[in-house]
Structure 1
Amino acid sequence: MRRLWTPAWIARHVAMVVLVVGFLGLGWWQVSRAAAGNSLSWGYAVEWPIFAGFVVYVWWREVKLARRRPVEPETPSPAPTVEPAPTVDAGSRPAVRRPVRVSRARVADDVVEDTDLAAYNRYLSWLNANPGARPGDYPG
């Protein structure tokens, strides 16, 4: 129970109370506007209490989750020990699989070169060779 009175939890409790009171106040304000003749305010008069209920639901769920968690020790835990790598027998599968290499089929050498692609590659080569240059400085 002491975990719910840390500075972070006190801020959550205060935020919950402020939000619920604010949302209920806005709901009451919409009821008074609706009673004065603004028919659209009836929808908002229902909406604000629903928002307040949602805030209470989230706060209650977080409180329940915090109470279920085991208490963490305040003393630092010892440094984790490094476990030896598992040995791999000759007949077993490796723990990490190697990537599969796929070879591409060679196309005939008489393929027509894409001129736009070649021009763009020349442009990128020029930008790489001239690191301080701007794209507008490209002579091609």
Structure 2
Amino acid sequence: MRRLCTPAWIARHVLTVALVVAFLALGWWQTSRALSGNALSWAYAFEWPIFAGFVIFLWVREVRYTLRGGRPTHPEPAAQPARTATEGVRRPVRTARPRPAVEGPDDPALAEYNHYLAWLNANPGARPVDYPGPGRQ
């Protein structure tokens, strides 16, 4: 239990209590607003207590983790799995089929855009407004 009395853990305890109280108070506030006619507040009236429950869940999980001593620094090696009949068999690797090369673009707009990109690549300091257009170089 001394592990839960360090300054870091005391801050966690205080933060947990503060969050739970704040979330439950916000849930109560939303419930009072919902009862006075605000229909949207019904969703928040149920949401804030769920947040408080989540904070409690995280706090309990961290306390259990700390009391168990955390994860071992050197995990024990796992037992060797039993050998199967197909262990030494290599499976073929499937490679992608190469696509046939496209001879020429069918779309004139695509050809113009590719020309524009090639011009930008050839003229790195140029601005887009300096582009002369296709066939005007």
**1:18 corresponding residue in structure 2:** 18
**1:59 corresponding residue in structure 2:** 59
Q: Please tell me whether the aligned partners of residues 19 and 52 of structure 2 are also in contact (alpha carbons under 8 angstroms).
A: yes
- Do the aligned partners of residues 123 and 71 (structure 1) sit closer, same or farther apart at CA in structure 2, a change above 3 Å counting? same
Q: Partner letter of residue 113 of structure 2?
A: Y
Matched, 1:70 2:71: yes
> Matched residues in 1 for 2:3 and 2:73: separation?
10
**TM-score of the aligned structures, taking structure 2 as reference length:** 0.55
- 1:1-140 to 2 correspondence within 5 Å? 4=4, 9-30=9-30, 38-40=36-38, 43=42, 44-68=44-68, 69-70=70-71, 72=73, 93=90, 100=95, 102-105=97-100, 113-140=106-133
Deviation by residue 1:22-68 (Cα, 9 ceiling, x = unmatched): 1222344456667xx61448835554333322221222123334444
Q: Please tell me whether the aligned partners of residues 105 and 111 of structure 2 are also in contact (alpha carbons under 8 angstroms).
A: no
| Count, aligned residues | 117
Identity of aligned residues (%): 58
- Do the aligned partners of residues 102 and 8 (structure 1) sit closer, same or farther apart at CA in structure 2, a change above 3 Å counting? farther
> Matched residues in 1 for 2:131 and 2:48: separation?
60
Q: Partner letter of residue 56 of structure 2?
A: V
Q: Partner letter of residue 54 of structure 1?
A: F
CA RMSD of aligned residues (A): 4.0
For structure 2, list consecutive stretches of 5 or more residues without a partner in the other structure. Answer: 75-87
For structure 1, list consecutive stretches of 5 or more residues without a partner in the other structure. Answer: 74-90
**TM-score of the aligned structures, taking structure 1 as reference length:** 0.54
